[in-house]
């Protein structure tokens, strides 16, 4: 056995306060706890019932994203909440943060946004940190070489009270993407191809590390998209070793180390990557060069296929059930299906690079008549940056809507939702039945595919729009 350690091993070891035993899990220290309005109120209630304080408010950051409207306030400054309960939930987080001295990037704050967008963008997310949030897409932060995973509300309470969680060390899996991506293929396509390959539970019980040439070549935004989707393969943790791309991205961010501290941090971060010969419980290899633009056609993220494919014949009861719901004509190209709505946003694909990708396709073109298209930036900062580049004008000129930052139609609990029966091409992460509204049929795709589909009014391969279509695709 080699002594070589993986990135995951190193991060785990660094944060163990009490080692796990046969009888009890490890006590694992958490460097950064991100909270939002949906999964925190009951945790604060437990604290209040027991007379406990937030142990480390300085390691806790709150934002509002899930229940917040994406339409601007009216002339009286009132926001159009979906329900009075949604408003109350937002007010509850504001009150809890005030009571417990937790910093909240609330409504009107230029730092507000989707929790998994703002952590990295502010430099709160850093290599080597442990990061948790009551949200399964916390895996996103692993893109920086952090150990980040979603927790339940009881555990949110545990972290608020002790800055620790009780965890057993998961098994480790390495997913290696060999070769280079073809033009017009993005991190979202890699994620969907990977999930199709290993299944929606293929990563269950594992911490995943993504590696290989195609991963190293990804931008930080692309790595975030990939790590974000690891939970859709069942893995709570997805991570990428930090490298020059990471450091370049980190430098100068609000909460990133400065001056001498930056040099110390950099030296430390360089020691984190997985060493040659480190053991993984499981390893899979994927030929990145063979990946084409992908969509999902079922009701689980592993039902994914190339955009250019035909709807497959169901082989199992589950597939039949999904096919009955999605209503693609069996044996016919997915591109036959008319699209009713397009959503570009979510913690998976709402960053500046995602909006640029969509704008490249929508520039000078019109959204197909009748296709409602929502573009929802991931944060106030993304919104400002996009507007500085006039991307919003591209979307508005194309006939799309340009909204305020938030989770919006990904989880559809703020009032942004599709109508029953609609086919929605979405850059979000889950195609579950009813996720985007009762009876809504969700097709997951990259921002490029979503934008091209909005223009054509049917599911569309984006590559001809990007000048990168291959003959044999």
Partner 1 sequence: MSFDSFNILKSRTVVLRQENIDTDQIISARFLTTTLKEGLGQSVFYDWRYDEGGRPKNSSAFNGYNPDTHKILVAGANFGCGSSREHAPWALKSFGFEAVISSDIADIFKSNSLKNGLLAIEVDPKTHASLLNTPGAEITIDLERQIVAVSDWEKAHFDIEPFARQCLMNGVDQLGALMSHLPEIEAFEVKRP
The footprint of partner 1 (CB under 8 A) covers 14, 17-18, 22-25, 27, 29, 38-39, 41-42, 45-46, 49-50, 66-67, 82-83, 85-86, 88-89, 92, 134-136, 150-155, 157-158, 161-164, 166, 168, 170, 200-201, 204-205, 231-232, 234, 236, 299-300, 317-318, 321, 411-413, 420, 430, 432-435, 438
DSSP string, 122-189: HT-S-TT-EEEESSGGGGGGGGGT-EEEE--HHHHHHHHHHSEEEEPPPEEEEEEEES-PPTT--HHH
CB of 16 to partner 1, least distance (A): 9
**Residue 67 or 373 with smaller CB distance to partner 1:** 67
- How many Å separate Cα 470 from the centre of its chain? 29
Strands 164-167 and 26-29: antiparallel
Q: Between residues 150 and 378, which has the closer beta carbon with respect to partner 1?
A: 150
Smallest separation (angstroms) from partner 1 to the CB of 290: 26
Give CA angle at 233 (461, 283), nearest 5°. 105
Cα gap 287→181, rounded to integer Å: 9
- Among residues 145 and 170, whose Cβ is nearest to partner 1? 170
Q: Toward partner 1, which CB reaches closer, 72 or 432?
A: 432
CB 430 within 8 A of CB 338: no
Concatenated DSSP letters of 77-97: S----SSHHHHHHHHHHHHHH
Instruction: Supply the minimum distance, in Å, between the C-beta of residue 436 and partner 1.
Output: 9
CB of 326 to partner 1, least distance (A): 14
Cβ 328 to partner 1, closest distance in Å? 18
Token output for 340? 């009713």
Q: Of 86 and 359, which has the nearer Cβ to partner 1? A: 86
Question: 134 or 462: whose CB is closer to partner 1?
Answer: 134
Report in angstroms how near the CB of residue 367 gets to partner 1 at its nearest.
26
State the Rg of the chain over Cα.
22
- Least Cβ distance, residue 32 to partner 1 (angstroms): 14
Report the residue number, 85 or 387, with the smaller CB distance to partner 1. 85
Closest residue by Cα to residue 460 from 352, 337, 324, 360: 337
Token pair listed for 81: 């909440």
In the complex, the smallest distance separating the C-beta of residue 389 from partner 1, rounded to whole angstroms, is: 32
- Give the whole-angstrom CA distance, residue 200 versus residue 444: 14
Tell me the C-alpha distance between 471 and 302, whole Å.
27
Are the C-beta atoms of 132 and 365 separated by less than 8 Å? no
Distance, CA of 93 to CA of 35 (rounded, Å): 9
163 vs 426, beta carbon nearer partner 1? 163
């Amino acid at each position: 056995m080699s002594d070589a350690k993986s990135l995951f091993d190193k991060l785990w070891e660094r944060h163990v306060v009490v080692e796990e035993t046969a009888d009890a899990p490890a006590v694992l220290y958490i460097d950064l706890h991100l909270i939002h309005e949906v999964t925190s109120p009951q945790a604060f209630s437990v604290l209040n019932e027991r007379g406990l304080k937030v142990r480390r408010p300085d390691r806790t950051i709150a934002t509002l994203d899930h229940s917040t409207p994406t339409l601007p306030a009216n002339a009286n400054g009132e926001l159009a909440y979906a329900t009075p309960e949604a408003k109350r939930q937002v007010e509850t987080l504001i009150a809890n943060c005030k009571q417990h001295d937790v910093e909240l990037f609330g409504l009107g704050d230029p730092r507000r946004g989707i929790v998994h967008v703002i952590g990295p963008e502010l430099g709160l997310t850093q290599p080597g940190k442990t990061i948790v949030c009551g949200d399964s897409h916390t895996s996103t932060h692993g893109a920086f070489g952090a150990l980040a995973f979603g927790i339940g509300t009881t555990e949110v309470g545990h972290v608020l009270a002790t800055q620790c969680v009780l965890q057993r060390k998961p098994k480790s899996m390495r997913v290696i993407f060999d070769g280079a991506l073809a033009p017009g293929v993005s991190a979202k396509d890699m994620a969907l191809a990977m999930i199709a390959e290993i299944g929606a539970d293929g990563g269950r019980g594992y911490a995943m590390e993504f590696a290989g040439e195609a991963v190293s070549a990804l931008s930080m935004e692309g790595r975030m998209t990939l790590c974000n989707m690891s939970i859709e393969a069942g893995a709570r943790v997805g991570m990428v070793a930090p490298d020059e791309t990471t450091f370049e991205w980190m430098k100068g961010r609000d909460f990133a180390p400065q001056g001498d501290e930056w040099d110390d941090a950099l030296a430390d971060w360089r020691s984190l990557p997985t060493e040659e010969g480190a053991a993984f419980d499981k390893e899979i290899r994927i030929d990145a060069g063979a990946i084409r633009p992908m969509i999902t056609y079922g009701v689980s993220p592993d039902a994914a296929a190339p955009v250019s494919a035909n709807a497959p014949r169901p082989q199992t009861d589950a597939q039949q059930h999904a096919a009955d719901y999605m209503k693609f004509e069996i044996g016919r190209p997915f591109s036959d299906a008319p699209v009713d709505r397009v959503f570009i946003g979510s913690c998976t694909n709402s960053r500046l690079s995602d909006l640029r990708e969509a704008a490249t396709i929508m520039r000078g073109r019109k959204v197909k008549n009748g296709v409602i298209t929502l573009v929802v930036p991931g944060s106030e900062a993304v919104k400002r940056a996009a507007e500085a580049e006039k991307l919003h004008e591209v979307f508005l000129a194309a006939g799309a809507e340009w909204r305020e930052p938030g989770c919006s139609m990904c989880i559809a609990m703020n009032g942004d939702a599709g109508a029953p029966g609609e086919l929605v091409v979405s850059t979000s992460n889950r195609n579950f039945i009813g996720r985007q509204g009762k009876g809504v049929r969700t097709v997951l795709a990259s921002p490029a595919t979503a934008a091209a589909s909005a223009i054509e009014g049917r599911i569309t391969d984006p590559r001809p729009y990007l000048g990168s279509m291959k003959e044999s695709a």
